[in-house]
Chain A
Amino acid sequence: MAKYILKRIAGIFIVLFVVMTAAFFMMRLMPGGILDGVEENLSADMRDLIYAKYNMDKPIWEQYLLFLKGIVTEWDWGVSLKLYVNVSVWDILAERIPITLYLGFLSLLISVPIGIAFGTLAALKKNGIVDHAVSFLVVLFISIPSFVMATGLQYFVAYKWGWFPLIYDDSLPRITTTFLPVLALSFSPIATITRYLRAELSESLNSDYMLLARTKGLTRVQATMRHALRNSLVPVVNVIVPAFISIMGGSLVVESIFGIPGLGGITVRSINVADYSVTLASLIYYTLISLAAILLVDISYGLIDPRIRMGGSKDA
């Protein structure tokens, strides 16, 4: 197991390196640059001076090596070029990552149990009125993107009814002020998990091992909880990664809607103004968090299913 995890971590670094390299070159080879819009007002000397300051006068591969060297030797991710000129990118990120992570994990933490509960309910009452109601909501919530949901919640719950603050407010407790954005982000993963669990569980409920469990004299609830549910969680764990990644993607826009000072908002803004170093760093961050989520899920796979955990070793 330890060897497996080490191998996976090494793999993560390789993927990260490839993404980083590709992103760096793609961004820098695109037309436009940090002086867009102000270039006409600058003298040629001025321009050269600014380029020299940020190593932009050197060939691009040398810039890339310098960038890597900075990270490896001094944990130096460069400085912001436009949004917060000369502020260290790492400081900008470090300040914003916690709130974004908070949104993401809280949303996931809410989605998984609720999704499992609804999925179980729908599977147990399959083809009944409850199941149809749940399935209808699932389709609705999968189809509505989180930013539409966010706008709707903001308009009705916050503006019309005034139950929650309209935008992020530092002075309020975090849970109140982030309630609506977290909610907006949770609908789609809840629906996804419900849908998968319903399908998996209704298959498990008809399996032979469920019949065997019942012929042992277990009650329907005992048999479902101990045998069917755990078996159907194996494939469901697999949709948690895409769900988490879609939460992260949704938070890009939802953060802007609620004015949350998180990574999502700044990523969008840095792309708009071509603040290369900030864009690159947040991209790397998103890659890393997604890869970590995948690793986590793969490990928990093994915890749930012994066939995966013991797959390699033939000590039977």
Chain B
Amino acid sequence: MGETMIQVKDLRVNFRAWAGTVQAVRGVNFELKKGETLAIVGESGSGKSVTTKAILGILPSNARITSGEILYNGKDLTKLKEKEFYDIRGKHISLVFQDPLSALNPIQKVGKQICEALKKNEHMSNGEAKKRAIALMEDVGIPEPETKFSQYPFQFSGGMRQRIVIAIALACNPEILICDEPTTALDVTIQSRILDKIKELKAEHDLSVIFITHDLGVVAGIADRVCVMYAGKIVEYGTVDDIFYEPAHPYTWALLSSMPDLDTKEKLFSIPGAPPNMMYPPKGDAFAPRNRYAMEIDFEQEPPFFKVSDTHYAATWLLHPKAPKVELPEVLKHRIQRMKEEREGA
């Protein structure tokens, strides 16, 4: 894992809404290294999808990038014109959508939808594109690709449609694949198969992946590094082991505690309250009102990132040398214990 593929620096995105300005992303920093899978985790509305849309230049028209840079190949993607994106989208950076049921054009044959990308980016002839599309369909695990090539999306199941979307994303051998909750709309058995497929394809095509999800269970299986997002900011980041075994931010604790596992006997934890209204982001730590470990300073001043280890950082005042020592919640301790045992057992 060496060179940096994408570096996001202090990205801020605002939405102009009827009632005011929504600050969807408020200064996000992260980088994607070659060959790694970076998971971005957070609740709905935490700004995960907006961040990825900014990378691809497909933000809705009422969104504005107010500051920050997205560096890719020495270029700042936030400064690119629509025209310059035509050579990046699909060819270098691709996106897999959340909802395969609505991502495909309902009245066009799936084969044609795959070929379209090939013809545009690789300038293939019809024949070549068809051959490659069928190979791709086979690659993503679609049985009888020759027959399926000339069928319409409504003749496919949800899982099969997501495979087609993945095939489209991979058609032109991109370096970076962004998966925006690719399994959320699918049922659990299909979920694991799609995840395995993504992992397999990632190795095969030497991809760097940004994986957006709200499901920590999915993260554990697929990610190398994890960023936890809350209210438009990253609150904690580290390797997957850092986040799961030594979580440092109370929000990460809360997320981990509210994830059920097979041995959950007690009532499942849920985070009290609701995320803040991003039209009026709160002063201090945005999570403070829902945080039972919140201190006075959390309501006054925003915490900076504190180093936990070389790979692991978290933005919480609890890590300040002067802060009182807080124990992990009991439930979470047990859960982490179980996760560790499970892993050693496996």
Contacts and interface: CB of A to CB of B under 8 A. Distances in A.
Given A211-B58, A212-B168, A316-B151, A218 B103 contact: no
B82 to A, nearest CB: 7
B85 to A, nearest CB: 8
Nearest to A231: B107
Contacts of A305: 106-107
Nearest to A207: B102
Chain A interface SS verdict (over half) = helix
Contact of A209 (B56, B104, B151, B152): B104
B154 interface: yes
Which one of A209, A215, A217, A306 has the highest number of Cβ atoms from chain B below 10 Å of its Cβ?
A215
Interface string A180-191: 000000000000
Nearest to A218: B120
A218 B27 CA distance: 30
A220 interface: yes
A214 B89 contact: yes
Contacts of B171: 216
B152 A217 contact: no
A82 interface: no
B326 to A, nearest CB: 43
A304 B108 CA distance: 10
Contacts of A211: 58, 95, 97, 103
B332 interface: no
A216 B58 contact: no
A230 B109 CA distance: 13
Q: How large is the interface on B (under 10, 10 to 19, 20 to 34, 35 or more residues)?
A: 35 or more
Interface string B129-153: 0000000000000000000000110
Given A227-B105, A306-B152, A215 B58 contact: yes
B56 A215 contact: yes
A217 B56 contact: no
Given A215-B56, A215-B90, A217-B89, A208 B103 contact: yes
A96 B190 CA distance: 65
Contact of A212 (B87, B103, B155, B156): B103
B91 interface: yes
Given A226-B116, A230-B107, A316-B151, A216 B102 contact: no
A310 B108 CA distance: 13
B89 A307 contact: no
B293 interface: no
Interface string B172-204: 100000000000000000000000000000000
A209 B106 contact: yes
B117 interface: yes
B95 A218 contact: no
Contact of B102 (A209, A304, A307): A209
Given A220-B82, A307-B152, A209 B120 contact: no
A69 to B, nearest CB: 48
A214 B83 CA distance: 11
Nearest to A314: B155
Contacts of B87: 217
Interface in B51-78: 56, 58, 60
A209 B103 contact: yes
Contacts of A114: none
B99 interface: yes
B158 to A, nearest CB: 14
Contacts of A304: 107
A209 B104 CA distance: 5
B97 to A, nearest CB: 6
Contacts of A176: none
B325 to A, nearest CB: 47
A52 to B, nearest CB: 62
B94 interface: yes
A144 to B, nearest CB: 33
Contacts of A207: 102
B107 A307 contact: yes
A219 interface: yes
B258 interface: no
Contacts of A216: 89-90, 116-117, 120-121, 168, 171
Interface in B243-289: none
* Residue among A207, A216, A304, A310 facing the most chain B CB atoms (10 A cut-off): A216
B105 A316 contact: no
Contacts of B60: 206
A234 interface: yes
B165 interface: yes
A212 B120 contact: no
Contacts of A222: 120
A88 to B, nearest CB: 49
Contacts of A218: 86, 116, 120
Interface in A197-242: 206-209, 211-220, 222, 226-227, 230-231, 234
Nearest to A234: B107
B334 to A, nearest CB: 41
A153 to B, nearest CB: 39
Given A219-B86, A310-B152, A213 B105 contact: yes
B59 to A, nearest CB: 11
A231 B105 contact: yes
B55 to A, nearest CB: 11
Contacts of B86: 217-219
Residue of A209, A220, A307 ringed by the most chain B CB atoms within 10 A: A209
A216 to B, nearest CB: 4
20 contacts: A208-B102, A209-B102, A209-B103, A209-B106, A211-B97, A212-B95, A212-B168, A215-B56, A216-B89, A216-B117, A217-B121, A219-B86, A226-B116, A227-B105, A230-B108, A231-B106, A234-B107, A305-B106, A310-B155, A316-B151
Interface of A: 206-209, 211-220, 222, 226-227, 230-231, 234, 304-307, 310, 316
Given A215-B56, A219-B86, A226-B108, 9 more contacts: A208-B102, A213-B116, A216-B90, A216-B171, A217-B120, A230-B107, A305-B107, A306-B154, A316-B155
